Chains A and B, each alone.
Chain A
Amino acid sequence: MRDLKLLYKYATKTSKPNKSKGKKFGNVINWAMSLFFIVLLAFPMIIMFYEMANMLAVPVSSLGLPYKGYLFDIYMFLYPATFGLMAILTLVPSMVFNVFEADDMTFLLTLPIKRSTIFIFKASMGLFMGVLPLLMLIILGLCYGVAFKLNILLNIIGLLLFMVFIFLFSFTIGSIMARFMKKSTANIFSQIFLYVSIIAYVIVMNVFPRQAENFEAVLDSFGALFGIMEGKYAWIMPTNWFLYAVKGDIRVFILLGLLSIIFAFVIIKATNVFNMDSGRGKSKTKKGIQISRYPIIKKEIRLIFRNPKNIFGISYAIIFPLVFTYINKSILSGAMFVALFSALYTATLSIQLITEEKKSWPFLKLLPIDMDKVIRYKAFIPAIIYTLDYVIVLLVGYLLIDMEPIIFLSIIPMIAVILYSSAFGLNIFLNDPQRSLVGDGFKLKFSESMLIQFGTIILSLGVIIPFQMQTNIKPTSPIWYKILAMGLPWTIMIIAIILVKSTLKKVKIRIETWE
């Protein structure tokens, strides 16, 4: 324990502190930001779960089914089964990656500290990746306890035991998986599951509350589950542990406690004989070398789709607007969100692509490649991807709900906006190419990130809102309304084209002078 404390105190300081901020002030800001972020996530969840619990506080027996609990219990089965699993699936690879990614592992292994302590220390650094699904479960459990007036002390103990169980189970699987999983695979999987959790969060927050408004629909979809949730041995079923623990069932407390002790024992035993300085292995498949006619394009595309962060951005820009289009049965919110996300994420993606060069710098400069070409690809490829996102959402909107076909015309000015956003991202990054990187990604100053966000928001809304206005034009509409609706998108397009040209010129100069 003393070793673990020492490791937490000193070995977490793997990067030099930012000198521009006072140490204490910087720490306070970091804590405040994290707290703000958690509150921002938690607040809508508390309201949603509490309201859902109240809405579904209907005894199932009153609906003619032989179950003693309430209709809301269905969600106490569904959420833990999905989010508990999601948490484990995120935590395990994240822990494995943290163990292997550690630059200081070779050094730590030379110290007279048990391997299990080092493993627990390093693996625990990956716990934050599971925050979102676990936060959902904690809030769900507390809301359940309050809404159904359970013994709150037992409720909290049950929740804590369940969380400890999830962590220790993930640690155990992590300590076993670390023997088979490679560093890059672990990284990819941990990020994929994290992003799947975020997308699931968006869907859950928007779709489930609407579904809960209709008892019959809930019963039709999930009524069969009540049979699994009650019975002589139902408390042994892992999918029921959360519900029973939150209700304060002592049998489940003992079961979770025992399992946690066993897992803790396995972790200590397994990691003490574990080779932590590896994280490598050999692929069993032989792929060979396929010579490409467009090596730079191929490289950029490979790097984009190998990074789960990028895949998340690309899919999120489609899924989120579609969820909103589906919920509101109107393309306006969907089109607005896809326009916003496309413009914003294009900048992020182009920055990510230039970050790849920074990570391997000055390798790019050793190659006989025209920098003009490099810049064009780094600006155009993200722009093409997000233009496709935009087109897909409009197409689905057109097919699902009766979107006015005139909205399709907005694709033309949006291409210019998206391209400008991409060039703008490159320009911002190259303004200070010596900037420090955070893990796999880039770090923007607050002012830079604000510039990107406001710039892209204004331009994309300037395109999409007038198109929506066009669908409402009537012969009686005032002339300024008509001019704004018809003229603004094309004016923005012309401005964006001029900006693209001048920004790409600046970017070229900046990359050529980057040493």
Chain B
Amino acid sequence: MDNVFIEAINLTKKFGDYTAVDHINLKIKPGEIYGFLGPNGAGKTTTIRMLTGTLTPTKGDIFIQGLSMEDNELEIKRRIGVILDEPKIYEGLRGNEFLDFIIGVYQLEKENVLPKIEELSLAFNVDYLDDYIGDYSHGMRQKLMLVSVLMRQPKVMFLDEPTVGLDARAARILKELLHKYAEEGSTIFLTTHVLEIAEKMCNRIGIIDKGQLIAEGTLEELRNLSHEGHTSLEDLFLELTGNEDVSDIVEALQNERP
């Protein structure tokens, strides 16, 4: 178990009669960038929320760096870094007050963390820390969240659609940083709808559909699953999730044009 940073066993989440996540098993090793893909409503965010301790699974176990989520929730939260798809943070605080809050909560050393904040702020163009978060755009909040997580350089990171709202420069820097952190031994669990990002960045990819993990492996392993001989991740994804009729739909729509 020591060689696995993120482990989920039979992870299941039901909302009433609806099963959002259905017996998912995951094993992600140190240094891996794991891409977690799926169509809208497939269960990606629910899975991330369970793995990060914000949603209690209906069934199943979660281990982060060998620690059980059930028994060590706070310790796990201290070790991980999470960026959710919607960067919702206290609008009444200024950016620097938010970072001050995070530093206090994680009990970080001032001498270590302040230079990192400066570096990251410079890299992501975060020059608005003195303003109220309520005045930030989605992208500005996302960058602030990135700074607050990356300044700690956690060994396990969960990123739900991290590039949404980021400008091209910031997105590129984030990708480079994630690569660097993975090389240094961090594990990164990433969801994205931009399949190009997953294709270029991830060592392994898991595809979830209707709450079930329908495929998992390296890009090469996924290619072997294709009956149609698809090689691009986009074609593979559409084939595996049963959404291959895209071109038929477009053609039908064009025929209907007056």
* Cβ–Cβ contact B130 & A292, under 8 A: no
A360 vs B91: C-alpha distance in the bound complex, in angstroms? Answer: 8
**Does any Cβ of B come within 8 Å of A454's Cβ?**
no
* Cβ–Cβ contact A286 & B114, under 8 A: no
Q: Which residues of B contact A (CB under 8 A)?
A: 49, 52-56, 74-75, 77-78, 82, 84, 88-94, 96-97, 99-106, 110, 114, 117, 127-132, 134-137
> Can you report 13 A-B residue pairs in the complex whose CB atoms are below 8 A from each other?
A187-B134, A280-B137, A282-B127, A282-B128, A288-B96, A292-B100, A295-B103, A298-B104, A302-B92, A362-B55, A363-B88, A368-B75, A368-B78
Q: How far is the CB of B58 from chain A (nearest CB, A)?
A: 11
* Cβ–Cβ contact B93 & A299, under 8 A: yes
A283 vs B103: C-alpha distance in the bound complex, in angstroms? Answer: 22
Q: How far is the CB of B97 from chain A (nearest CB, A)?
A: 6
* Cβ–Cβ contact B104 & A282, under 8 A: no
* Cβ–Cβ contact A287 & B96, under 8 A: yes
* Cβ–Cβ contact A295 & B101, under 8 A: yes
Contacts of A359 in B (CB 8 A): 88, 90-91
Q: How far is the CB of B83 from chain A (nearest CB, A)?
A: 10
* Cβ–Cβ contact A303 & B130, under 8 A: no
* Cβ–Cβ contact B96 & A306, under 8 A: no
A25 vs B73: C-alpha distance in the bound complex, in angstroms? Answer: 48
**Does any Cβ of B come within 8 Å of A365's Cβ?**
yes
A483 vs B101: C-alpha distance in the bound complex, in angstroms? Answer: 50
* Cβ–Cβ contact A361 & B88, under 8 A: yes
Question: Quick one: which of B82, B103, B137 contacts A291, CB cutoff 8 A?
Answer: B103
Tally of contact residues, A, Cβ under 8 A: 41
Question: Quick one: which of A289, A296, A299, A366 contacts B117, CB cutoff 8 A?
Answer: A289
* Cβ–Cβ contact B94 & A287, under 8 A: yes
**Does any Cβ of B come within 8 Å of A367's Cβ?**
yes
Contacts of B106 in A (CB 8 A): 368
Given contacts A280-B135, A515-B55, contact A291 B110 (CB under 8 A): yes
**Does any Cβ of B come within 8 Å of A294's Cβ?**
yes
A362 vs B51: C-alpha distance in the bound complex, in angstroms? Answer: 13
Question: Quick one: which of A182, A287, A289, A362 contacts B54, CB cutoff 8 A?
Answer: A362
Q: Which 6 A-B pairs have the closest CB atoms?
A: A295-B104, A368-B77, A362-B54, A306-B92, A283-B130, A368-B78
In chain A between 273 and 310, which residues have their CB closer than 8 angstroms to a CB of chain B?
A: 279-283, 285-296, 298-299, 302-303, 306-307
Contacts of B49 in A (CB 8 A): 362
Question: Quick one: which of B55, B75, B77, B89 contacts A360, CB cutoff 8 A?
Answer: B89
A296 vs B106: C-alpha distance in the bound complex, in angstroms? Answer: 11
Question: Quick one: which of B90, B134, B135 contacts A299, CB cutoff 8 A?
Answer: B90
Given contacts A281-B131, A299-B90, A362-B84, 18 further A-B contacts (CB under 8 A): A182-B131, A182-B135, A183-B134, A184-B134, A184-B135, A279-B135, A282-B127, A287-B129, A288-B96, A293-B104, A295-B101, A295-B103, A295-B104, A302-B97, A303-B92, A306-B92, A359-B88, A369-B105
Question: Quick one: which of A279, A290, A356, A513 contacts B90, CB cutoff 8 A?
Answer: A356
A119 vs B91: C-alpha distance in the bound complex, in angstroms? Answer: 24
Q: How far is the CB of A267 from chain B (nearest CB, A)?
A: 24
A187 vs B91: C-alpha distance in the bound complex, in angstroms? Answer: 12
A361 vs B53: C-alpha distance in the bound complex, in angstroms? Answer: 13
A368 vs B72: C-alpha distance in the bound complex, in angstroms? Answer: 10
**Does any Cβ of B come within 8 Å of A370's Cβ?**
yes
* Cβ–Cβ contact A283 & B131, under 8 A: yes
Contacts of A184 in B (CB 8 A): 91-92, 132, 134-135
A294 vs B101: C-alpha distance in the bound complex, in angstroms? Answer: 9
Closest chain B residue, CB of each to CB of A100: B135
* Cβ–Cβ contact A294 & B55, under 8 A: no
* Cβ–Cβ contact B88 & A281, under 8 A: no
Question: Quick one: which of A183, A282, A299 contacts B101, CB cutoff 8 A?
Answer: A299
A293 vs B117: C-alpha distance in the bound complex, in angstroms? Answer: 19
* Cβ–Cβ contact A303 & B77, under 8 A: no
A383 vs B68: C-alpha distance in the bound complex, in angstroms? Answer: 37
Contacts of A368 in B (CB 8 A): 74-75, 77-78, 105-106
Contacts of B78 in A (CB 8 A): 368
Question: Quick one: which of B92, B96, B114 contacts A356, CB cutoff 8 A?
Answer: B92
* Cβ–Cβ contact A366 & B136, under 8 A: no
Question: Quick one: which of B52, B56, B130, B135 contacts A287, CB cutoff 8 A?
Answer: B130
Given contacts A282-B127, A360-B88, contact A370 B135 (CB under 8 A): no
Given contacts A302-B97, A359-B88, contact A291 B104 (CB under 8 A): yes
In chain A between 228 and 286, which residues have their CB closer than 8 angstroms to a CB of chain B?
A: 279-283, 285-286
Closest chain A residue, CB of each to CB of B103: A291
User: B-facing mask of A175-188, CB < 8 A → 1, else 0?
Assistant: 00000001110010
Q: How far is the CB of A423 from chain B (nearest CB, A)?
A: 22
Contacts of B96 in A (CB 8 A): 287-289
A294 vs B127: C-alpha distance in the bound complex, in angstroms? Answer: 26
Contacts of A289 in B (CB 8 A): 96, 99-100, 103, 114, 117, 129
* Cβ–Cβ contact A290 & B135, under 8 A: no
Closest chain B residue, CB of each to CB of A360: B88
Contacts of B99 in A (CB 8 A): 289
In chain A between 329 and 378, which residues have their CB closer than 8 angstroms to a CB of chain B?
A: 356, 359-363, 365-370
Q: How far is the CB of B131 from chain A (nearest CB, A)?
A: 5
Most buried by B among A356, A367, A513: A367
Contacts of B101 in A (CB 8 A): 292, 295-296, 298-299
Given contacts A288-B96, A302-B92, A515-B55, contact A182 B104 (CB under 8 A): no
Closest chain A residue, CB of each to CB of B88: A360
A187 vs B136: C-alpha distance in the bound complex, in angstroms? Answer: 15
Q: How far is the CB of B170 from chain A (nearest CB, A)?
A: 17
* Cβ–Cβ contact A286 & B130, under 8 A: yes
User: B-facing mask of A151-187, CB < 8 A → 1, else 0?
Assistant: 0000000000000000000000000000000111001
A287 vs B129: C-alpha distance in the bound complex, in angstroms? Answer: 9
Given contacts A182-B135, A286-B130, A295-B105, contact A366 B52 (CB under 8 A): yes
Closest chain B residue, CB of each to CB of A285: B130
Q: How far is the CB of A306 from chain B (nearest CB, A)?
A: 4
Contacts of A362 in B (CB 8 A): 49, 54-55, 84
Contacts of B131 in A (CB 8 A): 182, 280-283
